[in-house]
């Protein structure tokens, strides 16, 4: 292990060191300051005569007298089942006052790519307890489904609600206790101390911490640290899923802060920027994270991801949501208008999408009528939304009786189906029954996307009668 005192330049989070022998990319570095303090960093760029190091704890106080040691190994995460219930900082050090972590093994944080041939198609339902997700944009095991939010919207509340409520419904044949357990890994990047306290209070209050591992990188922590926090979280998730057979849900918030850290490092390296100043390789970098979700043949566990991002300026064409939407399998859209109406969680189901939903619902998975009910609600709500614009021009009196029913449907859908507060957990049966309650407002001949047998079985005649009486 060689030690150098040849720092030539310090630029933002980067330190440049002259070297006389090759140094490996991603190698871990120790920098010892003149007062004895030690900081850790990682090799970002390696040439024949110099090395660029990104320092995790920030470069403040580092001068030319500091000594640099190259440890000759990449960054590893100590993993063990005992991590459940623990809280770490953004570099994987415990901050909950608990004992040191005694690892079963140490794993490279970059992870190993899953061979596409060995991937198993995600098709098993995860119940979040949130009707707008379970009923309309179902999450399945092994999927990556981001939440597109914007500043000032309650995406954190939704993340906590999912972390608290998410379960894997028991397989019918699995009466033994050996079934796969459920765990939540929460990776927070660049959040404020207030948000961190809110998260921790909620985890502790509800007992969700027992089955969770929390990684906290705060807003005043160095930006560089944000680039490793999600990798530590995903390494832990892969270990629990593929070695210990857990079904792991990984929630990463906020990916916007992560991408800002990439931009900061790119600016310090004086790279040629891509769209809006973000690095040209941001797509590749995000894909390295998002593609670490999925299921592997022959393994019981799975890694499901819910990355959360805030769209700068509510703009879904911004590079961060744009690239995320390309890589991931859909999005859950949090809407400012619904939020201003007091609807919680304010999920707008129309621009939301779960690309893998169709294979994860239906008989034996959720319920035989799920797909038809979902299609019909989407169609009826979209019709109601269109008519709202028309009402503003011509007034309700100019609309037909059926059009008025669609308008009422849209209102009730938002107030009863989407709006459920942060503490209500609905089973998939409750969600679908609620859907039938709403669809029964419409006449039978308007339900053109549902099989007739299902209409006969579930349609509520009395709902229509009540609606007519109410109008009278």
Q: How far apart are the first and last CA of the chain?
A: 87
Interatomic CA distance for residues 367 and 16, integer angstroms? 60
Tokens of 331: 């999005």
DSSP annotation of 414 reads I
- Please tell me the predicted confidence (pLDDT) of residue 175: 41
- Please tell me the predicted confidence (pLDDT) of residue 22: 87
Q: In terms of DSSP bridges, do strands 87-89 and 212-218 run parallel, antiparallel, or are they unpaired?
A: parallel
- Enumerate domains of the chain plus CATH numbers: 3-74 (2.40.10.170), 77-360 (3.40.50.12240), 370-471 (1.10.1140)
- Please tell me the predicted confidence (pLDDT) of residue 406: 96
Q: What are phi and psi of 422, to 5 degrees?
A: -95, -10
Q: Which residues contact 68 (CB under 8 A, 6 or more apart)?
A: 3, 4, 5, 6, 7, 15, 17, 29, 30, 31, 53
| DSSP 3-state percent helix, strand, coil across the chain (nearest 5) | 40, 25, 35
Per-residue pLDDT tens over the stretch 101-148 = 999 999 999 988 899 999 999 989 999 999 999 999 999 999 999 999
Angstrom CA distances, 353 to 144, 267, 336, 349, 438, stand at 12, 34, 18, 8, 21
Would you write out the chain's pLDDT as a tens digit for each of its 472 residues? 788 999 999 988 899 999 988 899 989 999 999 888 999 999 999 998 899 999 988 888 899 889 999 998 999 999 999 999 999 999 999 999 999 999 999 999 998 889 999 999 998 999 999 999 999 999 999 999 999 999 999 999 999 999 999 988 765 444 444 456 899 999 999 999 999 999 999 999 989 899 999 999 999 998 889 999 999 999 999 999 999 999 999 999 999 999 999 999 999 888 999 999 999 999 999 999 999 999 999 999 999 999 999 999 999 999 999 999 999 999 999 999 999 999 999 999 999 999 999 999 999 889 999 999 999 999 999 999 999 999 988 988 889 999 999 999 999 999 999 999 999 999 999 999 999 999 999 999 999 999 999 999 999 887 555 555 555 4
- Please tell me the predicted confidence (pLDDT) of residue 176: 40
3-class SS at 468? Answer: helix
């Amino acid at each position: 292990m060689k030690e150098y005192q040849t720092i030539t330049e310090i630029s933002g989070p980067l330190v440049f060191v002259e070297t006389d022998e090759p140094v490996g990319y991603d190698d871990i570095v120790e920098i010892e300051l003149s007062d004895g303090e030690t900081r850790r960093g990682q090799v970002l760029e390696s040439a024949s005569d110099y090395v660029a190091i990104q320092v995790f704890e920030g470069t403040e106080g580092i001068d030319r007298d500091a000594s640099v040691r190259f440890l000759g190994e990449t960054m590893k995460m100590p993993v063990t089942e005992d991590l459940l219930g623990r809280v770490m900082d953004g570099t994987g050090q415990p901050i909950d006052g608990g004992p040191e972590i005694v690892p079963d093994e140490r794993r490279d944080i970059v992870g190993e790519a899953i061979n596409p041939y060995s991937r198993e198609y995600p098709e098993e339902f995860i119940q979040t307890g949130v009707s707008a997700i379970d009923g309309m944009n179902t999450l399945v095991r092994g999927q990556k489904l981001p939440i597109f939010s914007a500043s000032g919207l309650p995406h954190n509340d939704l993340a906590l609600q999912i972390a608290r409520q998410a379960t894997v419904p028991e397989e019918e044949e699995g009466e033994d206790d050996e079934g796969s357990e459920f765990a939540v890994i929460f990776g927070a990047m660049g959040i404020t101390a207030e948000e961190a306290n809110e998260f921790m209070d909620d985890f502790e209050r509800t007992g969700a911490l027992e089955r969770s591992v929390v990684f906290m990188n705060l807003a005043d922590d160095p930006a560089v640290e944000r680039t490793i926090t999600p990798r530590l979280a995903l390494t832990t998730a892969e270990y629990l899923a593929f070695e210990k057979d857990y079904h792991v849900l990984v929630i990463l918030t906020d990916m916007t802060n992560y991408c800002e850290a990439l931009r900061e490092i790119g600016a310090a390296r004086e790279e040629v920027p891509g769209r809006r100043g973000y690095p040209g390789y941001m797509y590749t970098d995000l894909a390295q994270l998002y593609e670490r979700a999925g299921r592997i043949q022959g393994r019981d566990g799975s890694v499901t991801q819910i990355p959360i991002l805030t769209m700068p300026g509510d703009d879904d064409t911004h590079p961060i949501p744009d690239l995320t939407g390309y890589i991931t399998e859909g999005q859950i859209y949090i809407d400012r208008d619904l939020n201003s109406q007091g609807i919680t969680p304010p999920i707008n189901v129309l621009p939301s999408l779960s690309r893998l939903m169709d294979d994860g619902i239906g008989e034996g998975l959720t319920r035989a009528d799920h797909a038809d009910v979902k299609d019909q609600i989407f169609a009826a709500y979209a019709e109601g939304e269109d008519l709202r614009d028309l009402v503003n021009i011509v007034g309700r009196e100019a609309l037909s009786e059926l059009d008025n029913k669609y308008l009422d449907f849209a209102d009730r859908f938002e107030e009863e189906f989407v709006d459920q507060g942060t503490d209500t957990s609905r089973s998939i049966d409750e969600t679908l029954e609620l859907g039938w309650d709403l669809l029964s407002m419409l006449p039978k001949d308007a339900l053109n996307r549902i099989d007739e047998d299902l209409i006969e079985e579930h349609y509520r005649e009395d709902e229509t009668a009540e609606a007519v009486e109410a109008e009278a």
